Amino acid sequence: MTMIARPRRRFAIAAACAAVLCSSAGAAEMTTETDSVRAESKVMQLPIRTDGPKSLDPVEGSTTYDNMACAQFYETLLTNKYTNPMEMEPLLLTEMPTSPDGGTTWHFKLKPDVYFHDNECFPDGKGRTIRADDVFYSIKRLADDEHKLENWWLLDGTILGFNEYKDEQNAADEFDYDAPVEGFRKINDLEFEIVLTKPVYRFLYILGMFQTSVVPREAVEYYGQDFSRNPVGTGPFILDTWVPKQSLTANKNPNYHPVYYPERGEWSSADKRNRLHRAAGKQVPFVDRVEFTMFVEDQPMWLEFSKGKLGYTQVPEDYFTDAFDLASKQLKEEWLRKGIRAHSNLLLDFTFRGFNMEDELLGGYTPEKRALRRAISYAIDLDEINKTFYNGRRIVYDGPIPPGLEGHPENHRADAAARGPNLSKAKQLLAEAGYPNGEGLPAIRFYTSQNTLNNAVSEMVKRQLAQVNIKFEPVFLDFSTLIENINKKKAPMFGFAWSSDYPDAENNLALFYGPNEAPGSNHYNYKRPEFDAMYEQVLTMNPSEERTAIYEQMRDMVLEDCAYVGGMARERFYLMNPWLLNCKPTERYYGWFKFLDVDDEARN
């Protein structure tokens, strides 16, 4: 039995740093040769909006941009389908998991001959095949408080004996990854079972989330705390360079296990008209190298795409009418003549301005505290924001459940919501909160990410709140720093967007489950025993009218307490340059980059 002592990890860091220094010594001599190889390779340039990932360790990731990066290097047991991202399919498994007892015990079969990346952490630098033990080890990492338990909420109370394991190991002097978990049952190296405390509807969805990616123990122990910069997985690409907040490059994994482009019959008629089926049945990945550039501001990204230097781009709000007819949402003729193609998705999206329910000023559940938050909400006009900055294309709705999911309110409206603008109601509630006409109310500090659009929107919110004498002070940060402040409960009020991890309202309601408090997904630190009890009840329920009714009760409880102002759902528009092939952008998952190809003749 091997015990992993935390102090020893410092020596692993030192060894890793020494290795980096040694490998860098000959970099200058190799430049010419590397440039020559690169010129003969298929190279794909893509954008990452905002400042990119904060970590390349899956158990420490929480943002879209962590996901986007990690999904190139690591893989999960299950994944979303490229042809229909709302459906799941096996990735590291030979088939979908089966359950002989209605969802308590799940049986898994790993693919044979799936290898981890070649890396110096392995003997002779050769990656080995993945095994059932790797799956158990990777899941156990979620329980180690060295990783701040940021993603523990995904499996809290789910696997038999796992909570007890977490508590015992974190209380010990050394975290023992070899200690047994009752719900982990190894049959052989390729077959295993996971036993749950009870049937949990979302469990298979969780196994498709990047935080549950399979990682090798050798790499974690070899690199120690620097593992977050040295990803070793089974994914289609291997990290070359990462300059945080600037760029990330990766090369094709030459030993990638057989994964094939979706067959012709899986594509819709519309997809076939866009020639997305042309690569059907071919093994991926197609490109030799992918180069990501981080764009905190939209203008440089838009210009790079316009010059043909990026394969695709999300269409920033400020540039929507440059590319599309506002009424028809059709791509303009001048872009079509260049061979540029458009695509759009309605996101499972929750854009909000949240309150920290533990904040001294804005938090709390007394009538006065609730009145203050509702006054702020009534003073904010989301429709004005939508019309001014988004050409009215966003869906403004009440509750945290996005359009298209059970529990979303009819016509996007719920009676429990403090939907603005209603200035007279806002003034009345301000007085009930103890701040008549805003007197004595300190300025509301609002944390959000730094970009031109957020600056302008925040100025509008500042003006709206000033109408009822509420002072509003925006604090602009890069996205990674914003999330760090929210996770540490330092932001009294904050704003960003949450995209549902899977198509069930439970995922959005988990954002308000008390035990998921920051640094978990409950960024609001919302805690209501009645809500928590209902959440625990729906976890074991299959879709039904009864479950939907409970979703609606939970939705309205959060609205009455006014834990946030919102929400909005976006329709995401993309443009693709003619040299990028096989591209059907989705934000349901980020393992789809391996299906892309480039046509350098079209580029040139």
Find how far residue 550's CA is from the centre of its chain: 26
Q: What is the pLDDT of residues 81-132, one digit of tens each?
A: 999 999 999 999 999 999 999 999 999 999 999 999 999 999 999 999 999 9
The answer to whether 315 and 323 have CB atoms below 8 angstroms apart is yes
3-state class (DSSP) for residue 413 = coil
The answer to whether 145 and 170 have CB atoms below 8 angstroms apart is yes
- Which residue positions in the chain have pLDDT lower than 70? 1-39
3-state class (DSSP) for residue 475 = strand
CA distance 388 to 464: 13
The answer to whether 476 and 404 have CB atoms below 8 angstroms apart is no
In a 10 Å sphere around its CB, with 0-12 CB exposed, 13-18 middle and 19+ buried, how is residue 42 labelled? middle
Torsion angle, CA of 264/265/266/270, rounded to 10 degrees?
80
CA distance 191 to 574: 41
Q: Of the candidates 474, 456, 376, 387, which has an alpha carbon nearest to the alpha carbon of residue 421?
A: 376
Strand blocks (E) in 191-262: 191-195, 237-243, 247-252
Q: CA 262, 253, 583: angle at the middle one, nearest 5?
A: 35
CA distance 602 to 366: 63
Tell me the average pLDDT of the chain.
Answer: 93
Fold of 349-569: Dipeptide-binding Protein; domain 3 (3.10.105)
Find how far residue 591's CA is from the centre of its chain: 12
Q: Count of alpha carbons within 13 Å of 508, Cβ hemisphere only? A: 28
Torsion angle, CA of 511/556/502/346, rounded to 10 degrees?
-110
Q: What is the pLDDT of residues 326-371, one digit of tens each?
A: 888 899 999 999 999 999 999 999 999 999 999 999 999 999 999 9
Q: Which residues lie across from 293 on neighbouring strands? A: 47, 247
Q: How many CB atoms lie within 10 A of CB 497?
A: 15
In a 10 Å sphere around its CB, with 0-12 CB exposed, 13-18 middle and 19+ buried, how is residue 600 labelled? exposed
CA distance 492 to 471: 14
Tokens of 382: 């989301």
Sign of the C-alpha dihedral, residues 353, 357, 362, 366? Answer: positive
The answer to whether 474 and 446 have CB atoms below 8 angstroms apart is yes
3-state class (DSSP) for residue 496 = strand
